């Protein structure tokens, strides 16, 4: 029999959602009970690495380039296997992280190549730096001893570089990151280039299975086109299998990313829509307006597929574990927001708050624990040799209801 009991969020007094545990388990024994489970999957989650930007300060130096900051983060990620998880009562509490099944980055590998106010380097240069900084530098290995997969979905900056922007960019378009992501994730027979890639037709949407969970990876947000693909994909997935969604935007999508509802529905500096998802904005003519109608489309998908139990995203750039209740307050979706090493809402001003997430889930125990890993916790005094610290954590149920 499965019961639910309340627990505190490590590092916070905020009440958290309930973890599904075996009847008779005492709260003090939660972590130890989880240690006996062999089916757990561990992954690293980060977002918005924004090659092409500079940080105002990092480790006592001003105006530090993205490749320097990201290289420091990657070194901390590579050191995870021997790092002990905190004694927070979650899955694998107090144990070394050990093998990592995969790493996921939810977009914005390149910054928008804007001319003003500061000329940002081309997307091609940024993608080359990402390849060197992540693809060639990550050394994590999975339980089988093989290199852990690095999974990628694009962000709004990557997509805008491919199709153009209402702000001036130099060059006007550069689809190198989108082609690079497509080639790595979709494995076409003939690799695409920045000249042959088409944002309209070369869709980056794929699924992978890990530890009994079905993980779906999408471009920007689950719009109507992506939802149709998800519906088809889930026909082959048992309704009892937990499903996680990974994409760039939060569930309450940024209106700017919808297709322009005005005039010619184009990208222009008056309306300032970015035309990154298929859905035309139905909530009104303003690019900074609400997106309730679009959110209801996503909510309908979630209600039809109760086994979608987790949603991971970037874009808004701070660490948060929260429940998305939907536009009408009738949902309870476990949602996880990642910090950015270059544009963090809080870590941008306080580098000791720089973080990525280490996530452990177990479909047999119906439980997931997400932990905030503070990888530069000493701030300006931090070095590559400084151990990581642990911030907040949350354990949630991934039982299918």
User: Helix, strand or coil for residue 207?
Assistant: strand
How far is CA 248 from its chain centroid? 6
Rounded to the nearest 10°, the torsion over CA 275, 279, 285, 291 is -110
Q: 293 is written with which tokens?
A: 């109608």
Instruction: Check if the beta carbon of residue 194 is closer than 8 Å to that of residue 176.
Output: yes
Residues of the chain with pLDDT under 70: 1-38
Ranges of beta strands (E only) in 299-379 are 308-313, 320-324, 333-337, 355-362, 367-374
Instruction: Check if the beta carbon of residue 18 is closer than 8 Å to that of residue 334.
Output: no
CATH code assigned to 2-397: 3.60.21.10
State the first-to-last Cα distance of the chain, in angstroms, to the nearest integer.
14
Cα(232)–Cα(249) distance, integer angstroms: 22
Instruction: Check if the beta carbon of residue 132 is closer than 8 Å to that of residue 73.
Output: no
Cα(261)–Cα(265) distance, integer angstroms: 6
Query: According to the model, what pLDDT value does residue 117 have?
Result: 83
Instruction: Check if the beta carbon of residue 85 is closer than 8 Å to that of residue 97.
Output: yes
Query: According to the model, what pLDDT value does residue 37 have?
Result: 35
Residues 6+ apart with CB under 8 A from 354: 73, 339, 341, 344, 347, 374, 375, 376
Residues 341-399 have pLDDT tens digits of: 999 999 999 999 999 999 999 999 999 999 999 999 999 999 999 999 999 999 999 99
Cα(353)–Cα(241) distance, integer angstroms: 35
pTM: 0.90
Cα(76)–Cα(128) distance, integer angstroms: 21
Domain extents for the chain?
2-397
Instruction: Check if the beta carbon of residue 303 is closer than 8 Å to that of residue 270.
Output: no
Cα(280)–Cα(257) distance, integer angstroms: 10
Instruction: Check if the beta carbon of residue 149 is closer than 8 Å to that of residue 100.
Output: no
Q: 159 is written with which tokens?
A: 């997509």
Q: How far is CA 374 from CA 81, 189, 330, in A?
A: 15, 40, 33
By CB neighbour count within 10 A (0-12 exposed, 13-18 middle, 19+ buried), where does 209 fall? exposed
How far is CA 65 from its chain centroid? 22
Q: If you average pLDDT over every residue of the chain, what do you get? A: 91
């Amino acid at each position: 029999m499965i019961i639910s009991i309340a627990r505190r969020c490590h590092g916070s007094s905020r009440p958290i959602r309930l973890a599904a545990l075996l009847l008779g388990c005492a709260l003090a024994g939660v972590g130890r009970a989880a240690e006996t489970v062999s089916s757990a999957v561990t992954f690293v989650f980060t977002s918005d690495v924004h090659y092409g930007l500079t940080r105002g300060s990092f480790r006592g130096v001003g105006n530090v380039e993205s490749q320097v900051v990201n290289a420091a983060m990657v070194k901390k990620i590579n050191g995870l296997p021997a790092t002990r998880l905190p004694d927070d009562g979650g899955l694998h509490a107090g144990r070394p992280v050990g093998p990592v099944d995969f790493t996921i980055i939810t977009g914005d590998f390149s910054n928008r190549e804007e001319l003003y106010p500061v000329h940002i380097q081309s997307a091609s240069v940024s993608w080359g730096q990402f390849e060197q900084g992540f693809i060639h530098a990550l050394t994590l290995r999975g339980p089988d001893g093989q290199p852990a997969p690095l999974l990628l979905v694009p962000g709004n900056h990557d997509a805008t570089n491919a199709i153009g922007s209402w702000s001036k960019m130099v060059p006007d378009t550069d689809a190198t990151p989108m082609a690079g992501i497509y080639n790595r994730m979709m494995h076409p027979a003939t690799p695409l280039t920045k000249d042959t890639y088409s944002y309209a037709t070369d869709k980056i949407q794929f699924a992978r299975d890990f530890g009994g969970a079905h993980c779906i990876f999408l471009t920007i947000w689950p719009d109507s086109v992506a939802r149709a693909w998800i519906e088809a994909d889930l026909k082959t997935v048992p309704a009892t299998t937990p499903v996680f969604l990974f994409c760039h935007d939060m569930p309450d999508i940024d209106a700017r990313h919808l297709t322009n509802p005005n005039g010619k529905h184009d990208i222009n500096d008056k309306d300032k829509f970015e035309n990154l998802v298929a859905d035309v904005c139905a909530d009104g003519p303003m690019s900074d307006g609400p997106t309730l109608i679009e959110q209801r489309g996503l909510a309908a998908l979630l209600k039809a597929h109760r086994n979608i139990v987790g949603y991971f995203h970037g874009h808004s750039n701070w660490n948060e574990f929260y429940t998305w209740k939907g536009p009408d307050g009738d949902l309870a979706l476990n949602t996880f927001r990642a910090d950015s090493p270059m544009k963090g809402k809080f870590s941008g001003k306080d580098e000791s708050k720089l973080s990525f997430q280490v996530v452990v889930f177990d479909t047999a125990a119906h439980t997931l624990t997400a932990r905030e890993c503070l990888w530069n916790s000493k701030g300006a005094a931090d070095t590559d040799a400084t151990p990581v610290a642990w911030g907040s954590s949350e354990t949630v149920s991934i039982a299918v209801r």
